[in-house]
Amino acid sequence: MLEPLEFISGVIEGFYGEPWTQAERLKLFDQMKVLGLNTYFYGPKDDLKHRTIWRELYSDSEIGILSEIITACDQRTLRFIYGLGPGLDVRYSDESDYECVCRRFDQLITLGCRNFAILFDDIPDRMDATDASRFSSFAHAQCHLTNRLFERTRCECPEVRLFFCPTPYCGRMAESKLGGPDYLSILGKELHPEIEIFWTGPEIISQEITVESIRDLQEQLRRKPLLWDNLHANDYDMRRFFCGPYTGRPLEIKELVSGVMLNPNNDFPLNFVPFHTMAAFLNAVGPWDPREGYLAAMMEWLPSFETVHGSISLDELILLGDCFYLPFQDGPEAEELYNNAQLLMGPQTHCWEKAARVFRVRASQLKLLCTRLTELRDRRLFYALSGRIWELREELDFLERYLAYRENQNVPHPNFASECHHLGTYRGGIVARLQRLMTRYPDGSFQPTEPPLFA
């Protein structure tokens, strides 16, 4: 038995979408070394041989890329984890499929990889007839394959470590019995005790992860879980990105998990604050104030926002970041902007006039900032921002035009048409049309939108 791993901290390249470039990965490794993070997980869903055609071995050119990554991690004393996701169509009782996994692991072992993950996330929770006749449950089948793989790989290379992502990898999935009844308890009993198990919290993207929930999970898994944290992931909504602080996790949770790894924004240049604030959280020994961590990280990120006509200010960067904060909340500056905009939808009272003045100042500041960001010297950073800031600018411009129109009207809700926001070109396309069919309410529920009188 190997010695227990040190606390695992790092970054997962595990999102759906275009993988990071090699240059971005090397830059990441340098950042991780500075921040005190120790582990990089390679598992981009759109590496076809990671998931879709997992039975095929890597080509010589692909091996060259992976070898460079492993070497770069070794040079910086970072742990490299290679992830394989065969769950879409693996046959748990099929010897040839087992050998395919072994050959893939052997291929990586020859490159120096010593840490592997087998992933059964985001797959159908059913077995084919042959597997169903052999195994009493989905969990039994996965444990059988994983334990066998672990023992075989350990014989080939005694220092190998293995990580496991379950099919129900969050509390909601487990409660709905995804993977079958008692899935997590079966894992706890049958999966080799040295195999680490990933967990995302109560949800796929968890607003909060409590101490109580992790303690309950420990009892089922009979080990500390390893957090696969999707707090800043944006592959489910590429109109947004998240540069708010690492939050919603109490410091005490560090004693109850074997590590914390962040699966972040797809756009690598937008992850500066997520990486820095997660590292600050993990290094914190006293009280952790997420907002203070965010402001400190923003100050460090500011030099990246040099334009051809000088740098933007820290206040401007904070205002921008607050508009792209976290999945479940906007930053304070953006929240104030929204609240004032919301007041402008109502009757023209004294409060309306005050909100109009404040909104105009902030909207003008943001629109000008969005324009200035087109001049960023760091073009990769601009390309990552461009679509999002253009959409923000367009919405602010639309509301400014509506505000000017309202100031000349005496009715609360006059019909309004903007000469610059035409039907089909503004909020157009099939996705926008489909979204308008259902109205979302503040509690998260939906109802059909009132149909027009004339179709």
Ranges 90-99, 338-347, 380-389: which has the least confidence: 338-347
Q: Give the pLDDT band (50/70/90) at residue 406.
A: confident
Task: State the catalytic residues.
Answer: 122
Average model confidence (pLDDT) across the chain: 94
pLDDT in tens, 340-375: 999 998 888 888 889 999 999 999 999 999 999 999
Q: Give the pLDDT band (50/70/90) at residue 411.
A: low
Ranges 4-18, 157-171, 224-238: which has the least confidence: 4-18
- The domains found in the chain, sorted by start residue, are 8-286 (3.20.20.80), 310-440 (1.20.58.240)
Give the pLDDT confidence score for residue 416 in this predicted structure: 84
pLDDT in tens, 17-33: 999 999 999 999 999 99
Q: Give the pLDDT band (50/70/90) at residue 420.
A: confident
Give the pLDDT confidence score for residue 118 in this predicted structure: 98
Give the pLDDT confidence score for residue 410 in this predicted structure: 64
* Residue that wins the pLDDT comparison between 96 and 347: 96
Give the pLDDT confidence score for residue 414 in this predicted structure: 67
Give the pLDDT confidence score for residue 455 in this predicted structure: 46
* Residue that wins the pLDDT comparison between 213 and 406: 213
pLDDT in tens, 204-221: 999 999 999 999 999 999
Give the pLDDT confidence score for residue 125 in this predicted structure: 87
pLDDT in tens, 287-297: 899 999 999 99
The answer to whether residue 166 scores a pLDDT higher than 90 is yes
Over the chain, what HEC string results? Answer: CCCCCCCEEEEEECCCCCCCCHHHHHHHHHHHHHHCCCEEEECCCCCCCCCCCCCCCCCHHHHHHHHHHHHHHHHCCCEEEEEECCCCCCCCCCHHHHHHHHHHHHHHHCCCCCEEEEECCCCCCCCCHHHHHHCCCHHHHHHHHHHHHHHHHHHHCCCCEEEEECCCCCHHHHHCCCCCCCHHHHHHHHCCCCCEEEECCCCCCCCCCCHHHHHHHHHHHCCCCEEEECCCCCCCCCCCCCCCCCCCCCHHHHHCCCEEEECCCCCHHHHHHHHHHHHHHHHCCCCCCHHHHHHHHHHHHHHHHEECCEECCHHHHHHHHHCCCECCECCHHHHHHHHHHHHCCCCCCHHHHHHHHHHHHHHHHHHHHHHHHHHECCHHHHHHHHHHHHHHHHHHHHHHHHHHHHCCCCCCCCCCCCCCCCECCECCHHHHHHHCCEEECCCCCEEECCCCCCC
